[in-house]
Amino acid sequence: MRNAASTLAELVAPLSEPEFLAFLRERRLVHLRSANSGCYAHLTGWEALKRLIEQGEYPRRPDYFRVAKESVPAPSERWRVDGKVDTIRLEQCLSDGFSIIITHIEQHVPALGALCQSLSAQLLEPTYIGAIVTTGAEGAFRLHYDFEDLIILQVEGTKRWQLFGPPVSNPVRGMAKQAAPNGAPMFDAVLEPGDLLFVPAGHWHHCQTISGRSIHLGIFLLPPTGWHAAKALTSELLAEELFRTPLTRIEDATQLAALETEVKRRLIEKISAMRLCEFPAEWNRLRPF
């Protein structure tokens, strides 16, 4: 049994690390056949996932464990018994064409936890991993794009990935919704066990399982932006009473003007002190998800 990749270099082989980092910087799509020789199959194949679930090793947050078909969730009574996830019911959902989506699975698989730590330390970007199990022609999600960069690792079975352009440029969660494209796919390929697909943030995609069961891992990378730095700054402002004074309770126009001057002065001071070069380490420490 081959050891799971635990570093970026091992993960993206046979690409070199600098080659992959160039794709990451440019947010350019990459498909690597037989990367890392399918070294995650023993950790997150269906039998291994079932074992984890039966041992109670799965995320408890409801948004971290979902069962859905084309973005429509299956009621949790269909796959939970007495509040616990039930693998027999999950298999029934799979045969009914639903997909299982487990995010933050690295918290329950030490080798994946180590990989996330290594990636985060190197890239200064929070990372987490989702496992998606599907059967049938319909995908877990309808056509969508993610706000995070995604490294997809096909673990078991095969899956057709279709990507549609143009991508949404540098998306950040919370921005206005974009209209879905309706042209022909710019990428259409079937991923096989061991394949790696780098899907940059903002790339519209839809998946289909070709036959049998498919399992893939998605490694989510959340790079900080200037907006995140500005948002962190506004959170800091809340600690200062100056920004918490109710404007509608000031009757005197001169007092209000004085407050405005003081608020602007403090904002300029805070903005001038903003250090974007220091923010990624801070953001990575905060792990904002």
Comparing CB distances to Fe ion, the nearer of 37 and 71 is: 71
Comparing CB distances to Fe ion, the nearer of 6 and 195 is: 195
Comparing CB distances to Fe ion, the nearer of 93 and 207 is: 207
Q: Which residues of 21-41 are buried (b: 16+ CB within 10 A; e: fewer)?
A: eebbeebebbbbeebbebbbb
Q: Which of 106, 125, 138, 146 binds Fe ion (CB under 5 A)?
A: 146
Phi and psi angles of residue 137, each rounded to the nearest 5 degrees, phi first: -75, -20
Q: What's the min distance (Å) between Cβ of 97 and Fe ion?
A: 18
- 149 is an interface residue for Fe ion by CB under 5 A: no
Per-residue CA distances from 231 to 8, 113, 283 (Å): 29, 28, 11
Q: Which residue of the chain is nearest Fe ion when measured via CB?
A: 146
**Which region, judged by CB under 5 A, interacts with Fe ion, from 13-21, 56-64, 92-100, 139-147?**
139-147
Per the CB < 8 A criterion, the answer to whether 276 and 229 are in contact is yes
Instruction: Please tell me the distance from the alpha carbon of residue 138 to that of residue 144, in angstroms, as a whole number.
Output: 14
Comparing CB distances to Fe ion, the nearer of 56 and 166 is: 166
Comparing CB distances to Fe ion, the nearer of 221 and 279 is: 221
**Which region, judged by CB under 5 A, interacts with Fe ion, from 35-43, 116-124, 141-149, 206-214?**
141-149
**AA letter at 95:** S
Q: What is the DSSP annotation of 26-80?
A: HT--EEETTGGGGTTHHHHSHHHHHHHHHTT-S--SGGGEEEEETTEEPPGGGTE
**Which region, judged by CB under 5 A, interacts with Fe ion, from 45-53, 83-91, 115-123, 144-152?**
144-152
Footprint on residues 101-130 left by Fe ion (CB under 5 A): none
Q: Kindly list the residues in this chain that would bind Fe ion in the complex (CB under 5 A).
A: 146
